[in-house]
Structure 1
Amino acid sequence: MSGGEWQRLAAARAFYRINARFMICDEPTSALDPRAEEAMYDRNRRLGAGRTVILITHRLGSTRNADRIPVLDAGRVLEGGTHESLLAQDGSEYAAMWEKQAKTYSDQPA
């Protein structure tokens, strides 16, 4: 199986453990194409309802719907908040990283 297929299998097992009160997802979409990534996050939102979902990611687009986002550096929490509140903070590390990732999409030729 490919890396993406293994990720889908692991996610399916986590999603369907009905009695689980929380899920930990460590880079759950790193080997998926954009369509599969979107589908994964749609399922995550739907099936994670009523549970605590810990999402570890470097893809900041996937954090937009999070209730709380802690920004870590070398094991320390630098800042935290919602997507909107972190973008609104002057000098926010999250906002700087968001801008860098967004720039890679906006600078590409159409």
Structure 2
Amino acid sequence: AAARPYARKNAPLLICDEPTSALDPRAEQAAYDRIRELATDRTVILITHRLGSTQHADRIIVLDHGRILEEGTHNSLLHADGEYAAMWTTQARAYTTAPVP
């Protein structure tokens, strides 16, 4: 339900503002699968703080106080070693250092 678009079926633009913020990991995956389906032949703007969801984006724009700080693909931004790379590393570290029962 969180990722359900509130637009016409054939709208050329889909804006998703934190579409999975209240979902568990399985529901989040299902929501992003649905967003990818809906992305066919339209522009999708995904606003998120969960950087794992940005990996497949054609273009990522990093904003800081309303100004564009960086833009590019996931890989190009990681290689640029700027703010996106720092945020990605911080989030990834939370998953890789967590003890597994």
1:94 maps to 84
What runs of 5+ residues in structure 2 fail to find an aligned partner?
none
Aligned-residue Cα RMSD (Å) equals 1.3
Equivalent pairs, count: 100
What runs of 5+ residues in structure 1 fail to find an aligned partner?
1-7
Runs (4+) of structure 1 exceeding 4 A deviation are none
**TM-score (normalised: structure 2):** 0.93
Quote the sequence identity (%): 66
CA deviations on 1:47-85 (whole Å, 9 max, x unpaired) are 111110000000000000100000001001000000010
**TM-score (normalised: structure 1):** 0.86
1:54 maps to 45
More helix by percentage: 1
Secondary structure of the equivalent of 1:14? Answer: coil
| Code of the aligned partner of 1:68 | R
Secondary structure of the equivalent of 2:49? Answer: coil
| Code of the aligned partner of 1:41 | Y
